[in-house]
Amino acid sequence: MDKVAIVTGAGGALGSAISRHLGTRGYGVVVNYYRNKEGAEKIAQEITSKGPGQGMACKADIRSFAEVQAMVDTAVKKFGRLDLMVCNAGGSLGMINRSGKEKLLLEHDEAEWDLVIETNMKGAFNLIKACAPVMIKQKNGHITVISSGTGLRGTLKMASYAAAKAGEIGLMKAAARELGEHNIKVNAICPGRIMHGVVAAVVSNFADDAYLRETLLHKNGDAEELAKFIGHLATMENVSGQTLNLDSRILF
């Protein structure tokens, strides 16, 4: 394949949209999953059958560097290269626990805090660390971290998620500085709220919708638009170290 991507959390709504879109662009796509094997395999088969891309499902817990490294090695062995790493897997406490319930900072216990930080920020660290050596050898590559405006502004009952997403943005900037000399572009995207599964359950717990009121366009995000944006960003050769906002909110 001329272009190869790994998309983490690809069994979910956002990751599947990203994976499918990259497949239409002719990528070899490693469809990463942790829980949803059936969903990931279905997406990989769809990418391959529709072409021009080729899909492959691969299990890895992004909290484990050994598992992430094994996934990167598998991708390079099968496709011969790695051009794009999409650090998509993550989520807030309610999303990760599939409960739809968030907690105030003072209600978190240590295990819950660690779960969110490790799934988001440590996961991004492991992914960047594992893919960068391959891209350094190629003297080219893109790393895209899916962060959140919550990491810039904070949100009620999402202290751990805000901390993790702010950490991802700091990590992205540091990685962009270190890897720029090797022509590796590292960026973060804040996609805004995209309604799907567990996110819808989390939102239903709030009495009023402050999110929509503070967006300039007064609407939620779209998974397909996010996927197209990531595909386009991976063609750009002079964009790195940036936090790119897709949700029409004014973020600081």
Tell me the average pLDDT across 40-58.
97
* pLDDT reading at 206 higher than 70: no
Give the total number of structural domains in the chain. 1
The residue assigned the tokens 């197209």 is 228
Side-chain-side CA neighbours of 113 within 13 Å: the count stands at 9
Residue 54 β-bridge partners: 28
On whether residue 17 sits in a domain, the answer given is yes
Report yes or no on 213 lying in a domain. no
**pTM (2 d.p.):** 0.94
Instruction: Give the pLDDT confidence of 88-112 residue by residue, as tens digits.
Output: 999 999 888 877 789 999 999 999 9
Catalytic residues: 161
Is residue 251 one of the residues assigned to a domain? Answer: no
Side chain identity at residue 195, one-letter code: M
Whether 182 is covered by a domain: the verdict is yes
State how far the Cα of 124 lies from the Cα of 86, in Å rounded to an integer.
9
CATH number, domain of 240, equals: 3.40.50.720
Amino acid at 153: R
For the chain, give the percent of residues with pLDDT over 70: 94
Q: For residue 109, tell me if it sits in a domain.
A: no
